[in-house]
Structure 1
Amino acid sequence: MSARIFQRPKNAMQSGRGHTDEWVLEFQSNEPRKADPLMGWAGSGDTQSQVRLTFPTLDAARAYADKNGIAATYIPTPPKTLKLQAYADNFR
């Protein structure tokens, strides 16, 4: 069983930064997805891929993975960059 640990990025549709300080442990699917013959939806029999656990710190997420024997890979958070703009720059 393998998983990945990452920090959620800021939602592009909103200006708030809610839940971006939490660390997420998400299990990776062991089965490929296949189309349902009746509805055409993609799905699989692997229910572990639906599990998503949140932790307050990276150390807590790593400790949980080590305690339960989960091979977790850490995905570092990209640095946050601000793009400073001025309205007057539109008329240069």
Structure 2
Amino acid sequence: MTRPGWTCIASVTDTVSAEILRRRLTAEGVAVEVRSDSSLLGEARRCDIFVPSGAAWRARAILDEDPASEAELAQLAGLHAPPGDDGGRKA
């Protein structure tokens, strides 16, 4: 089912990838809807990424940018403190 004013900019085959794209676009200020044609629970299912039609070009440009490095991904996941952050420890 399509919703007027929204454009599908990507389709992925699992919910984890859909969530990554959703978070990346949301962090850049783009509204996102993730839609799935399956009512099955689980990670392996097709998901379509929709954004407002007026933001489709920007959303595609964001997703076309170079992916984050492993260090950036770890930082985003909260696995490592940002550079210069000693976690409140004193030297």
- TM-score scaled by structure 2? 0.26
Which structure dedicates a bigger proportion of its chain to helix?
2
The structure with the largest alpha-carbon Rg is 1
**Superposition TM-score, scaled by structure 1 size:** 0.25
